[in-house]
Amino acid sequence: MVAIGTNAPDWGPVAMENLFAPAPPAPAAVLQAAARLKGMAHRTPVLRSSTADERLGAQFFFKCENLQRTGSFKFRGAFNALAQFSDDQRERGVITFSAGNHAQALALAARLLDMPALVLMPETALASKMAATRDYGAQVLTYNPLTEDRQAICQRLALERGMTLVPPSEHPDVIAGQGTAALELLEEVPRLDLLLVPVGGGGLLAGSLLAVQAQGMPCRVVGVEPEHANDAQQSLRAGQIVQIPLPRSTIADGAQAQALGPLTFGLIRQHAQDIVTASDPDMVQAMRFFAERMKQMVEPTGALAFAAALAESAGLDLRGTRVGVIVSGGNVDLPRYARFLAD
Q: Which residues are catalytically annotated?
A: 74, 328
**Bridge-partner residues for 305, per DSSP?**
none
- The DSSP output letter for 333 is -
> Beta strands 164-165 and 3-4: pairing type?
parallel
Within 8 A by CB and 6+ apart from 21, the residues are 9
Residue 157 CA to residue 132 CA, distance in Å, equals: 22
- In Å, how far from its chain's centre is CA 270? 19
How many Å apart are CA 152 and CA 209, to the nearest integer? 31
From CA 45, how far away is CA 60, in angstroms rounded? 13
Question: What's the half-sphere exposure (Cβ side, CA atoms, 13 Å) at 63?
Answer: 29
Q: Which helix (H) or strand (E) holds 197?
A: strand 194-198
The rounded distance, in Å, linking the Cα atoms of 184 and 181 is 5
What are the Cα distances from residue 105, in Å, to 53, 235, 329?
A: 32, 28, 12
φ/ψ of 252, rounded to 5, equals: -80, 80
| Of 110, 73, 74, the residue nearest 92 (C-alpha) | 110
In this structure, what DSSP letter does residue 122 have?
Answer: E
Amino acid identity, position 295: K
